[in-house]
Amino acid sequence: MTLRIGTRGSALALWQSRHISARLSEAHPDLEVELVEIASEGDRVTDVPLSHVEGTGFFTAALEQALVSGEIDLAVHSYKDLPVKSIAALVVAAVPVRGPVEDALCGRDGLTLEGLPAGARVGTCSTRRAAQVRLVRQDLELVPLRGNVPTRLGRVGRDLDAIVLARAGLVRLGLDQSITETFSTERMVPAPAQGALAVQCRVADAAVYGRLHVLNDAATRRAVDAERTLLHALGGGCSVPVGAIATAFASGVQLTAAVFGLRTGVAVRVQMTGADPVALGQLAAARLIEQGAGDILAEFASGPAGVPA
């Protein structure tokens, strides 16, 4: 049996797909696995801030279309890139053990966030990260950032003093030596599903689903289900700074979630525990709304907001 894995062509996407390929070959020695590179809109359009398109399928739609059409048998995604509203014909068959969840700073000359000089230029592609940086350092100039991980790192010390990005990508590409500060999840709440992969196939393809299920990690899946349910309950806004991080344990899931005002500096946060991850995510979203998240979300109701300078 041959399985065709759809993947974007970036170094990180290829690492992720090769990782899944190796895991599948290890679990099913009889399988032949091949990678099929597919360009996403996000790969073709490089002048749109990611804060305008996160969660819209900007990086995943082309892979999903290829999966629906039968061009490929499965697709590997960074789970945080998948829209919260799924395509009926497709299913996430496996969520493997999660990678690092934290955000990280890569600064010139070993600088940390607190050590950056006043007015330093900090690049980020995320309004969530920008809002949380602003809570700590209102004096910094925040600069929109696009490109693959090596391209972003190449700007540090050139036209940027530092960048903030997910630690998982740096670790997976062997570039974690560039990290000058790792933020705890208490200090900077990650994006829902950050560090997790989603292995997707067609609902009707039982044979492929059966092969993929061996990759699924139940604890990671329960945690990510809580985080993504919260995002969906808040409207799944592509430009809204929502952070969520959950941990699954034997009797339930603990979820920390927050919504951050990009311009106002207002933030609301909850930490809750529950037995059912979906119910927990819904309840946490309701509690955030009760605490004023609705007013923060209204800041973005008229359309996406980019990273402010």
The set of catalytic residues is: 81
Distance CA 15, CA 62 (A): 19
Tokens of 19: 């990782």
Distance (Å, whole) CA 173 – CA 151: 13
Nearest to 123 by CA among 109, 143, 95, 102: 143
Identify which of 298, 225, 222, 220 has the alpha carbon closest to the alpha carbon of residue 259.
298
Instruction: Identify residue 32 by its one-letter amino acid code.
Output: E
Closest listed residue to residue 7, CA positions, set 58, 78, 93: 78
Q: Which residues contact 111 (CB under 8 A, 6 or more apart)?
A: 120, 161, 162, 180
Beta-carbon neighbour count of residue 194 at 10 Å?
Answer: 28
Nearest to 126 by CA among 186, 192, 172: 192
Side-chain half-sphere of 283: how many Cα atoms within 13 Å?
14
Look at residue 11 and give its three-state secondary structure.
helix
Estimate the crossing angle of helix 218-233 against helix 277-288, to 10 degrees.
30
d(Cα 83, Cα 121) in Å, to the nearest integer? 30
Residue reference for tokens 């190449």: 154
